[in-house]
């Protein structure tokens, strides 16, 4: 029983430090940024093949337990105010923050390695 509990604790700890994808919500993003958390906003469009490929790469990066970043997925077509605020002009843009400070951005890249590299700038 003791080993099962220890295993569950270790699993929870490793999951807590992994990449997380969440639907964009302004208050959730603001709360995470206020805490100084590493976050990113992925401006995604369902019709965009590049965006879908980026999502596949982000899903692969969830396995990296040392990549403790929350990626908020924002609808490129409907989040017009958010796009304007961050000067995003194309779908498939990833804007990376350390707290409220933008530290990097990437557009159109679909390979996991460059996506991981920009996300790590928030850590």
Residue 9 domain-assigned? no
Give CA–CA dist 71/95, Å, rounded.
Answer: 9
- Model pTM score: 0.85
Residue 75 domain-assigned? yes
Q: What is the CATH number of the domain that holds 68?
A: 3.40.30.10
Residue-number span of the structural domain to which 99 is assigned: 18-120
Residue 3 domain-assigned? no
Would you tell me how many other CB atoms lie within 10 Å of the CB of residue 56? 12
Residue 91 domain-assigned? yes
Give CA–CA dist 70/73, Å, rounded.
Answer: 10
Structural domains counted in the chain: 1
Residue 37 domain-assigned? yes
Residue 17 has a pLDDT of: 74
| Per-run averaged pLDDT (10 residues), the chain, 123 residues | 44 63 97 97 98 98 96 98 97 97 97 98 96
């Amino acid at each position: 029983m003791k080993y099962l509990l220890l295993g569950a604790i270790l699993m929870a700890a490793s999951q807590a430090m992994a990449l997380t994808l969440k639907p964009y919500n302004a208050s959730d993003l603001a709360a995470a940024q206020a805490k100084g958390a590493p976050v990113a906003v992925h401006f995604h469009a369902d019709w965009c093949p590049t965006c879908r490929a980026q999502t596949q790469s982000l899903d692969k990066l969830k396995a990296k337990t040392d990549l403790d970043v929350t990626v908020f997925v924002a609808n490129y077509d409907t989040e017009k105010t958010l796009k304007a605020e961050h000067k995003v002009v194309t779908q498939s843009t990833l804007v990376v923050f350390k707290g409220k400070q933008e530290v990097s951005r990437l557009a159109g890249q679909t390979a996991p390695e460059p996506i991981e590299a920009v996300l790590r700038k928030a850590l």
